[in-house]
């Protein structure tokens, strides 16, 4: 059985921050992104972003570029393909959630006051 603690690509992408990271890089279009900016965009610490990016680089999904003292990152072709698919999955899941929320009652029943 699959466990989120496993060090696999599956475990990596079924979490919120790595998915947001890939989608943030996709949104950058063809321009490399400054790592610190990504951490602010997805509300994650710089050190955590670096750890995630190192894993993504090991999978061949991102590549780093260093210009003087600034570290930039961009998606590889394989990373771009994955980002398109992830974006589709996120869109589908959002629609599913919207449908389920629409089916839910407008308000929760009030609790009896003691």
pLDDT of residue 31: 82
Enumerate residues 6+ apart whose C-beta is below 8 A from 15: 4
Going by pLDDT thresholds of 50, 70 and 90, the confidence category of residue 13 is low
Domains delineated in the chain: 9-100 (1.10.10.10)
Taking the whole predicted model, whether its pTM rises above 0.85 is answered as: no
C-alpha–C-alpha distance, residues 58 and 64, integer Å? 11
Q: Tell the residue number behind the tokens 């079924």, with chain if given.
A: 14
Enumerate residues 6+ apart whose C-beta is below 8 A from 4: 11, 14, 15
Nearest to 77 by CA among 63, 91, 66, 88: 63
pLDDT of residue 53: 94
Reported as a single tens digit per residue, the pLDDT across 78-99 is 999 999 998 888 888 778 777 7
């Amino acid at each position: 059985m699959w466990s989120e603690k496993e060090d696999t690509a599956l475990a990596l992408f079924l979490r919120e921050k790595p998915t947001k990271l890939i989608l943030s890089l996709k949104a950058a279009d063809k321009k490399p992104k400054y790592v610190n900016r990504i951490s602010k965009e997805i509300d994650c610490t710089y050190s955590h972003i670096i750890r995630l990016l190192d894993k993504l680089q090991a999978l061949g999904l991102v590549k780093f570029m260093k210009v003087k003292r600034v570290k930039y990152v961009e998606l590889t072709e394989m990373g771009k393909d994955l980002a398109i698919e992830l974006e589709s999955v996120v869109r589908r899941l959002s629609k599913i959630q919207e449908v389920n929320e629409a089916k839910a009652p407008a308000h929760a029943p009030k609790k009896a006051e003691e």
